[in-house]
Structure 1
Amino acid sequence: MTSHSKIEQAALQLFGEKGYDNTSTALIARQAGVSEALLFKYFLSKEKLFEYLIKQGFRRIVEANRGILAENDPRILIENVIDLPYKLVHDEPDFWKVQDKEFNRPLVQKYFQRFMSPIDNLLKKAFVEVGAPSPELTTLQLLLLIQSLWRNLLYPHDANLPNLARHLKQSYGLGRPAAG
């Protein structure tokens, strides 16, 4: 693993555990096993390191999940979106802990909104296609549940959370065959 990667990994873990304000560059460098000077050589400042981590994290997530949003079957698309928090937290737990801890920061909100905006539009269209009574409100409801779900999946949680996806799919009528 390169020094650059070690710094990234240490910073993600520490920002997720302690938060941005409570994590010093000295602590990140020590955890990464590099000098603080090397950290500054790569990233210039703690703020630039944080910005890099957020941008790269969302870039990885978009690339890894591009296919689920290209789904043409509205029912499968909705199911994919319901499954998304489980996949995201499983694949990138440290990144999502940073998102949770630092969600009030404009940079985090900006990238989160960029990530969620296409999902919002695709869900509205999917709920129209499956005949949901109020597609916009149903989309808002599901997205709020998903946001709460990924945050709860990050930490020790209720044993029923893993089963919630199945319940949500049934609640949104996805357990039934499509109307012919």
Structure 2
Amino acid sequence: MGRNLEKNIQIKEEKTELILNAAVKTFAEKGYGSTKISDIAKEAGISHGLVYQYFTSKEEIFKILIQRSLEITKNTAEQNFSIKGTPIEKIEAHVGMYINFLRDQRDKNEKPYYFMVMHQAINFEVVSDEVKKIVNDNPNPLYNLIRPLIVEGQEIGEIVEGDPDMLTEFLMQIMLGIGISNNTGQYRAPLPDKNLIMRMLRK
């Protein structure tokens, strides 16, 4: 591969990342419906026309960000649950890491932009059917990681009895609610202690 070709590929990759990083922040803060290509270009510090050299539309950019968000969630969850320990210890470790992540974001005055963009893809009507299909075809990987641990924990007597599907959904909704309340609007709710959340599961 010639040096010029390598340099061109590197420039293309760098510009692509620059645009995507600007886009995820812009979508998160302005919302998908209100965001224009010109907004993304302004955030990236490049011309409006340059964005179109890399992407055909804001929907294409949004779809790529959703796919990335799903991959980030999957990789992070798998890493969190790979620790040694009993089912309740693994769930508790994941909850603790999630709350610490939110606390770290707050301390840095930053926001989890991919989380906020995914929330829009799931809940906003303005998002296209194609984007919603991507989300529906790739369900939250947390469910498939948490539910077996709840079942196993019930079998060995360290997790409360009850419908494992309901307990899994309940835990995920609590974590989602914490994330939303800490990253939308002017008010940020206090972050709970992980032990407060784990009380609903621990037998």
> What band does the TM-score fall into relative to the shorter chain?
0.7 to 0.9
Instruction: Quickly say closer, same or farther: Cα 1:112–1:167, change in 2 above 3 A.
Output: farther
**Unmatched 5+ stretches in structure 2:** 1-12, 106-110
Aligned counterpart, 1:110: 136
> 1:158 maps to what in 2?
189
TM-score with structure 1 setting the length: 0.78
Aligned-partner Cα distance in 2 for 1:152–1:52: 25
Contact 1:55 1:111 in 2 (8 A): no
Larger mean CA deviation between 118-127 and 52-61 belongs to 118-127
Change (3 A) 1:32 1:56: same
Q: What residue is the counterpart of 1:40 in the other structure?
A: 52
* % same residue: 20
How many Å apart are 1:52 and its aligned residue?
Answer: 0.6
Letter in 1 for 2:120: K
Corresponding residue pairs, total: 172
* Cα gap change, 1:76 to 1:97, in 2 (>3 Å): same
- Cα distance in structure 2, aligned partners of 1:97 and 1:81: 19
In structure 1, the gaps of 5 or more residues are: 175-180
Runs of 4+ in 1 over 3 A off after TM superposition: 87-92
Contact 1:120-1:139 at 8 Å conserved across structures = yes
Match of 2:175 in 1: 146
More helix per residue: 1
Q: Output aligned runs, 1:86-97, within 5 Å.
A: 86=99, 89=102, 90=104, 93-97=112-116
Kept in 2: contact 1:132–1:138 (CA 8 A): no
Cα distance, 1:50 vs. partner?
0.5
Greater length-normalized contact order (CA 8 Å, ≥ 6 residues apart): 1
Q: What is the SS of the residue equivalent to 2:122?
A: coil
Higher alpha-carbon Rg = 2
What root-mean-square deviation, in Å, do the aligned CA atoms of Structure 1 and Structure 2 show?
A: 2.8
Higher mean C-alpha displacement, 104-113 vs 66-75: 104-113
Give the whole-Å Cα distance in 2 for the aligned partners of 1:141 and 1:162.
16
